[in-house]
Structure 1
Amino acid sequence: MKSLFRGNIHEKVFSSSAVNLNHSLAVIDPPSIFDAEPEPAIPPVHRLLVLFNDYTKSRQCTTPNTKIWHAQLLKSHLLQSQAGIADSLMDCYRQCDATGYALKLFDAAPQWSLISWNTVISSCNKKSLFLESWKQFCRMHKSGFEADEMTYGSVISACTALQAPPNGMQVYSLALRKGFHANGYVRAGTIDLLAKNYKFDDALRVFHDVSCENVVCWNTIIAGAVRNGENRIALDLFRQLCCHGTFLPNSFTFPCVLTACAMLEDLETGKVVHGWIIKCGSYDVYVSTSLSDLYAKCRDMEGAMKIFNRMRFRNVVSWTAMISGFVQLDDSISAVQLFKEMRSLGEEINTFTITSLLSACGRPGSTKTAAQFHSLIIKCGFDLDPAVGASLMNMYYKVGAVDSSELIIGEMERRRNPNSRAVMISLHAQANDAGRAIELFVRMLQEGVRPDKYCTSSLLSVVNTLSFGRQVHSHVIKSGLVFDVSVASSLFTMYSKCDSLAESYEIFGQICEKDNVSWTSMIAGFANNDRPDEAVRLFRDMLIEGNTPDQSTFIAILTAIRSLNSVNKGEEVHAKVIRLGFGEEITVGGALVMMYSRCGYLKLARRLLDLLPLWDGVACSTMISGYAQNGYIEEALLMFHKMLKANFAIDSFSISSVVQAVTLTNRSDIGTQLQSYAMKVGLDSNAAVGSSLVAMYSKIGGINDCVKAFDQIDAPDLIGWTAMIMSYARHGIGEEALRLFELMKRKKMRPDPVTFVGVLSACSHSGLVEEGYFHFDSMVKDYGIEPNYRHYACMVDLLGRSGGLKEAERFISNMPIAPNALVWETLLAACKIHGDIELGKLAAKMITKCEPSDAGAYISLSNMYADMGQWEEVMNIRSSMKGAKAKKEPGWSVV
């Protein structure tokens, strides 16, 4: 300290060695601070400020030393008289992370300057005292001080940390009014604020407000795009930055862009970015790690390992990225070897490393390896982490050690850690084990543990009963979680699954800030519950409110348009898909193929399928179905053949679609080959495949083949039961059809209108009049199904076949809806069988009234007269046909 001050501080010169303070000065007695050397002139203030500046940059800038400075300046009265010195001292405290002392000095200062305010606000930010930073700014604004770009930038950063976008935008509005809108620090902070609070569109508008000459702003908007899942926009912004020419991307830009490429699995663009990295020489551990992670996520482990091996420095993220890459390729051996190498080099590991490794160890029979890694986890202290515990449980399940898995579950439950419970509920939900998930949730409530939003959302995903769902809804309202977007989305999705769309839409309407997941879930709810018009309306509302659809949204809306069979609406959505850059996405492209195929635009659907970078199995199956439904049988079979040659994983939809096509060819040999293939790949027991085979054999085979195909189905669905009932009906075995119908009801299967068509047809073909009336009445009384024209036609056919033509006529007269041509044609056919000319004439007259150009009625009546030998009437009917312009189609034969 003697070297710091000499004599009276008012009259002595500060030594240039002021920066050479050390901790020992703090214990020197005050009298030793001065000596009796001659007193030079008073130093200028700017010299003191220079000394402070040098001091803050030195290693001697510590809190104890700064307090000594503070004491001497107080004693000399310079602190009270010179505002600049107080600002410099506050900056020293800020550099020492002594924010408390800086605030006390600020409060004690006789006068404040803009530097003082900026120093105290930045000090609060540095110590994560963001609320205090906001309070100081409000105090500054109220005191009338004019803020500058440093002030606005610091306060906006504090608002970002506080997740308070309204406050941040108020500050940005002030900055705009004061002319700081073009400042890079202010704009970058505002972009970051909006992007981190899921207002990316607003962030993009702020970015485009002024031509950006600051790479920090570019980095912030690109990072914001990646954070919000707008990876294509991030890549487009990167291209604009590269074309800008004023400055080059830096080591902060590249990791964000590489993350976007990895998320899109766009290796080609990633290689272009790699070239820019080489050009700019921006190789550091973060850039190299992002590069290796990109190649790993794009399944190019050779390229990833090349980058990894060239890295001079590696961190735990680098190693974990490579291990995860091998796990993704199902190469557990390489993953474990890399982990062993990592451990031998003494590298640290984290929970992500452990969970990735546990995924690699989850193979049947590898119980010993699993136990070894479990021991390592306990040794390293990771066994207390809920995510690791969940991965352990999954691993033991996969290796077949169910007892060990149950022990892990028990251990996690005994800890009564809310996070552990939430993870367990999530795991049971993923495994579709609703009973265990509900049990854990109820136990949490009984023990007074409050489930968080993740736990509640996971539970709601498996709730499939309306009564329990409403109970969970009550808890959500009581706990205040109803205002969380993810919980609210799970709630209305639950109601949608439980066929309560009114309650689902009501909750959706109550969400203030709807995200893409909310919109997509509600659109999918309408689409999957036969409300496609509502889905389309909601999609338009989503666009009007400025939301950008993603892949899931497009798939949901295309599903709705498929149900509407509206190609015009489909083309509008297709244009939006292209505009947003999703045209080459396999899932969206597949959905477009399915939409066009269902709407009958098969050439366009096929062209889109051929343009996809990879064929989608579902889209190919849809093409087969589209070809079959539109009579292009050869094309359907060729498409299936191409799928086989390309080694596609043939699913049940593919086989059932091609079986439907074969049904139209009357080629039982091809049908038998398809059944053999289905048996080979283990899909003959699938409900969809089995039902298709039953329908095929019903038309082009025998009833025994139908029974064999039906018996192969493990768990027949309603379509399968209905197909078998229809087969019995078609072959005139009504008693078996009714027996099967009773068995179906005992299996708790609820019949639909098509099932009752089969049942009534069975009664008709077997002459079971009383049974027919019983089931017709039961359809309405027991199941609330309103009869349609096919049901009425079946009853007319039943009565007509049994000879009750007058009863059939009375039945038609008593129909609550006006009979159509199908009903009268059925009666006419019965009249022809029984030779009732008069009633036949009435039926024919009513048919021609419903469909004047229908030649069938004229021909049936003409044949009836011909059978009776009344040739004059035959000629009259043929004249009437010419007058009505009804034309008989020529017959054809396959022989």
Structure 2
Amino acid sequence: MKHLIHNNHTRFLSSLASIHTKPLNPSNFITPFDPFQFLNESTKSRSFTLRETNIIHTQFLKSNLLHSDADLSNFLLSSYVKASSFGYAHNVFDGMCERDISSWNLIIGCWNRELKYADSWGMFCKLRSLGFYPNEFTYGSVLSACIGFSFVNGGRLIYALALKHGFALDGYVRSGLIDLFLKSWCFEDALRVFYDEYCGNVVCWNAIISGAVKHNEDAVGLNLFRQMCSGNPSPNKFTFPSVFGACAKREKLELGKGVHGLVIKYGEQEDLVVGTAIVDFYAKCGEVDEALKKFSRMSVRNVVSWTAIITGFVQKGEHQSALKLFKEMIILKEEINIYTVTSVLSGCTNPVSFQVHCWTYKTGFYSDSTVKNSLINLYSKTGSIELSEEVFRDTKDLKNPSTWSAMITSFSHNGSLEKAFGMLKRMFWEGLTPDISCIPSLLSIINRLELGEQIHCYTRKTGVFFNPLVGCSLSTMYSKCGSLNDSYEIFEQIHDKDNVSWASMIAGFTEHGFAYKAIELFREMILSDVILDDTTLTAVLPACTSLQVLKLGKEIHGFFIKKQDSKFVYGGSPIVNMYSKCGELKLANKVFSMMPFKDQISCSSLLSGYAQNGYAKEALLLFLELRSSGLKIDSFTVSTVLGAVGDLNQTDIGIGIQLHAYILKLGFESDDPVGSSLVTMYSKCGAVDDCYKAFEQIYKPDLISWTSMINSYAQHGKGLEALKVYDLMTKSGTKPDFVTFVGVLTACSHSGLVNEGYAYLKSMVNDYGIQPGQRHYACMVDILGRSGKLKEAERFIRSMPIEPGALVWGTLLAACKVHGDVEIGKIAAERFIELEPSSDGGYVALSNICADVGQWEEVLKIRDEMKGTGIKKEAGWSYV
């Protein structure tokens, strides 16, 4: 036994020898142990192992001073906590006769390290009940406990105590309370604590700025940063990443460049986290060249830096550059994580996707569900939905709802409603709950109300209905299915309406002919706390266009200018489009010219405005400007300029032929809108054969294409050819519409096909459920009139199920002039004059009929009537 005690004492002294800064002499081994001399500053700051602490504990017990001296007990307590020996720590605390506030702080910290935050709170309550006064470390520790189990009300009580005892201004306490409120999503409370008293602690500033950005209060975060830069404390390397994140989200490029300058000023540009934040900022703002420049200058890079620059190239559409960087990562054997792989996959194209797919399989990333989901989305995006299904079938863990949801989303994006619903049913059979992310995608392709109602019931049952994105998608679905009342009812039930929800409902009202209601809803939106953006502007301006209320459109434009956002100050595509469609081409051009960055949509809107308002030359000049600027030219733009060419000069088709050649170069000749516009353009220029050639180039003609070809033949007197095209159209499965039958009846008129005209008029109602309008009845009257059947035409008019208009009676009047029928001509003229009293057409036509048959007295009588009513015949004129 004596031998064991001697050996233990020797080992302890050896341990003590390693603690002291100077080596111990052998003579010191027989010196009695002095605990107070042992607790010098170097000893207190050092961490001991559990074995060393046990030896020290033994020596303290031998000194008989442990239980009577709080410093010795606190030292042991601290050492056991540092060694993660929590049981020993509790034993030491329980055995203490004398405890001070440091003892309580240590044991509260011990409970925190054990993640037993409720016990930590209970220990704080106990020390208060025993009359101890907490210090800043106590408050900091107990606030950490409140953070641990999200005890917000406890945090408020702690702050009240800290205020009472004068510790509220302590940086440790304030930062802890701010952190608690931020992690509990109580940003307003955190901001109030920060602003209670001026704070010079950089930790508090960093915490509130970071919290603002994380809570999507980017404007508040940036304003706080401006305040920080104008006073104390100065920002540091922990401040800048949050600020760059806010600048990226709000696309504040110039502000971000200024922050970059501050980073250089404060010498933080070499910090890895700050450098990565700068790369990410430039990449997200579309300045990939600047991002690459900063990335190339970084002395140290990590996986986050690489992923940020790769993601930037992907978002800008420079997929080859992204893949090149990814290959460089592989060559340099840089760390690659899931986020890097998913970013690369999002930028892959068909041939490359197989290579990356194989690489993920080889490296083991393929087994990760997130990578599988990205592959499913990739193949779906490239139109290879069967490969998406193959990846899904290759998934071993089919209990992961995210993979099922990715497949449902893929089917939805490819318009496969039946397969998407089938996949959803299979999920339910497997007892799985789909991710909330796939519900909006599924709702976006639903075109049958009963299916939408089923999904609506499901969202109610599971509670996901209250998600703003789901609620917005449901509202849009009902609007698309024609149930506007249900759409508005759901919109009103969305608790936290975001700008997308408001914009979607405003657009729904406009699309269904309730433009006034759309404007009212916009006014209601202004009074809410929703941030107005270009989504809102895009939704509300079509309502102004629909109502043709230019004044209101100007007011809305002015309202957005007051926001002092450069997007609205200089104008944008929705504003140009509104002014163009309202006929204010000068304002449209002015806004367009002020735009610092002109996009393809704004160019097309202005071009369309010029074309529709008869400014063909201006439309052509703008098209040339668009082409020389390098902006992308789409089929809509080409179709619009073709329409302008058709109105420019009906005798010279040289410009039209040049445009046709350019269209062939672009590969748009088989596109339906372009093909239809080519047919119409050649028809206006009288080149009917070229019309048919252009029509034959269309890969799958739609209704507009077929109708354009029918009208072209009909207007140029080739009625039989027009009817042949109509037969081909019906055989192809394309159903005619209101406009198609106008062309068909016009063709019958030009070819004298009376019986066929009656048959087609009857087919409209019986076969297609289209009720004939004034234009159709006028065509039928023209068919009868050209065939000399004027009395039959009059009977036809009187038997019409709708009240005949001026167009119908005017057509009969024209036929009477051709055939010299004065009796029926007078009837037709009287009815025409009743319907169009201010027009000279009826008087002139009747006068000409009477003159042709020698009834000059009637001619003078008619002219006297014209003078009596104040109507004057317009002078004739000619180009010759």
| TM superposition score normalised by structure 2 | 0.83
Does 1:449 pair with 2:452?
A: no
Mapping of 1:401-800 within 5 angstroms?
407-412=390-395, 415-584=398-567, 589-664=572-647, 665-666=649-650, 667-780=652-765, 783-800=768-785
Matching residue of 1:16: 39
- 1:64: how far off? 5.2
Tell me which amino acid in the other structure corresponds to 1:426. Answer: T
Partner of 1:275: 261
Deviation at 1:571, TM superposition (A): 1.0
Deviation of the 1:781 alpha carbon = 5.3
Deviation for aligned residue 1:455: 2.1
The equivalent of 2:276 in structure 1 is: 289
**Separation in structure 1 between the aligned mates of residue 192 and residue 316 of structure 2, nearest angstrom:** 48
Partner of 2:145: 124
Q: Work out whether residues 26 and 64 of structure 1, in 8 Å CA contact, stay in contact via their aligned partners in 2.
A: no
Post-superposition CA distance 1:765-814 (Å, at most 9, x none): 33444444444455455555454432333333334333343444344445
Q: Which amino acid counterpart does residue 750 of structure 2 have in structure 1? A: H
Amino acid at match of 1:554: L
Cα-Cα RMSD: 4.2
Taking only the aligned residue pairs, the percentage that are identical comes to: 42
Alpha carbons 2:627, 2:633 under 8 Å: kept: yes
Match of 1:9 in 2: none
Which whole-Å CA distance do the structure 2 matches of 1:833 and 1:689 have between them? 39
- 2:227 pairs with 1:241: yes
Matches within 5 A, 1:195-214: none
Matched residues in 1 for 2:52 and 2:742: separation? 101
- Residue deviations 1:368-408 (CA, integer Å, cap 9, x gap): xx44x445434543222233124345667899999876542
Task: Note if 1:86 corresponds to 2:72.
Answer: no
Distance in 2 separating the partners of 1:717 and 1:337: 42
Q: Distance in 2 between matches of 1:402 and 1:817?
A: 52
In the aligned structure 2, how far is the partner of 1:447 from the partner of 1:495? 29
Letter of the 1:590 partner, please give it: S
- In structure 1, the residue matched to 2:28 is none
Aligned partners of 2:199 and 2:96: how far apart in 1?
Answer: 49
1:875 is matched with 860
CA contact (8 A) 1:261 1:269 kept: yes
**Cα distance in structure 1, aligned partners of 2:346 and 2:866:** 75
Structure 1 residue 240: Cα displacement: 4.4
1:353 to 1:803, Cα distance in 2 relative to 1, 3 A:
same
Q: Given that residues 94 and 119 in structure 1 are in contact (C-alpha distance below 8 angstroms), is that contact kept between their aligned partners in structure 2? A: no
Alignment of 1:174-189 (within 5 A): 183-184=193-194
Q: Whole-Å Cα distance in 2 between the matches of residues 703 and 422 of structure 1? A: 53
- Deviation readout 1:29-86 (Å, 9 max, x if unpaired): 987643468x89976x8x78xx95x889x8764265665454344334334xx67743
- Judge which range, 741-750 or 831-840, deviates more: 741-750
Provide the C-alpha distance between the structure 1 equivalents of 2:428 and 2:381, rounded to a whole number of angstroms: 31
Alignment length (residue pairs): 837
Q: Distance in 2 between matches of 1:136 and 1:400?
A: 55
Mean Cα deviation higher: 879-888 or 237-246: 237-246
Q: Please say which of residues 263-272 and 289-298 is displaced more in the overlay.
A: 263-272
Which residues in structure 2 correspond to 1:317-336 (within 5 Å)?
Answer: 317-328=304-315, 334-336=321-323
Distance 1:221 1:435, change over 3 A: farther
1:687 shift after superposition? 0.9
Who is 2:290 aligned against? 303
**1:357 counterpart residue number:** 344
Residue type of the alignment partner of 2:243: V
> Does structure 2 retain, via aligned residues, the 8 Å contact 1:554–1:588?
no
Q: What's 2:23 paired with?
A: none
Where do residues 255-270 of structure 1 align in structure 2 (5 Å cutoff)?
255-263=241-249, 267-270=253-256
Assess, with a 3 A threshold, how the Cα gap between structure 1 residues 730 and 414 changes in structure 2: closer, same or farther. Answer: farther
Amino acid at match of 1:86: W
Whether the 8 Å contact between 1:259 and 1:294 is mirrored in structure 2 is yes
- Letter in structure 1 aligned against 2:263: I
Residues 697-724 of structure 1 deviation map (CA, whole Å, 9 limit, x = unaligned)? 3332243332222222222222222222
Equivalent pair of 1:485/1:515 in contact (CA under 8 Å): yes
When residues 581 and 422 of structure 1 are mapped into structure 2, their CA distance, relative to the original with a 3 A threshold, is farther
Q: Which residue number in structure 1 is paired with residue 24 of structure 2?
A: none
Deviation string 1:173-204 (CA, Å, 9 cap, x unpaired) is: xx9xxxxx8641x77xxxxxxxxxxxxxxxxx
Tell me the secondary structure at the aligned position of residue 34 of structure 1. helix
1:602 CA drift (Å): 0.7
Q: Unaligned 5+ residue runs, structure 1?
A: 5-11, 176-180, 188-209
8 Å CA contact 1:624–1:636 kept in 2: the answer is yes
8 Å Cα contact 1:103-1:120 kept in structure 2:
no
5+ residue gaps, structure 2: 1-11, 20-34
- Counterpart check, 1:71 vs 2:91: yes
Gap change, CA 1:766 and 1:105, over 3 Å in 2? same
Partner letter of residue 737 of structure 2? D
Asked if the contact 1:386/1:423 (under 8 Å) is kept, the reply is no
Aligned mates of 1:221, 1:892 — CA distance in 2: 78
Q: Deviations over 1:94-125 (max 9, x none)?
A: 46756465356457655376749846742434
Aligned partner of residue 642 in structure 2, secondary structure? helix
> After the TM superposition, which of the residue ranges 589-598 and 498-507 deviates more from structure 2?
498-507
Is the contact made by 2:209 and 2:225 (CA closer than 8 Å) also made in structure 1? no
The amino acid across from 2:401 in the alignment is P
8 A contact 2:49–2:83 mirrored in 1: no
Cα offset, 1:604, TM superposition: 1.0
The aligned residue for residue 886 of structure 1 is: 871
Q: Is the 8 A contact 2:380 2:413 kept in 1?
A: no
Cα separation, 1, equivalents of 2:255 and 2:139: 43
**TM-score (normalizing by structure 1):** 0.82
Q: Say if 1:35 and 1:494 are closer, same or farther in 2 by CA, change over 3 A.
A: same
Decide whether the 8 Å contact of 2:121 with 2:146 is kept in 1. Answer: no
Q: 1:267 to 1:741 in 2, by over 3 A?
A: same
Match of 2:8 in 1: none
C-alpha displacement of 1:419: 1.3
Q: Deviations over 1:694-751 (max 9, x none)?
A: 2223332243332222222222222222222222332344444445445434544443
Q: Which residue of 1 aligns with 2:26?
A: none
Distance 1:859 1:444 in 2: 75
Q: How does 1:371-382 map to 2 (within 5 A)?
A: 371=355, 373-382=356-365
Identify which range, 20-29 or 689-698, moves more after superposition.
Answer: 20-29
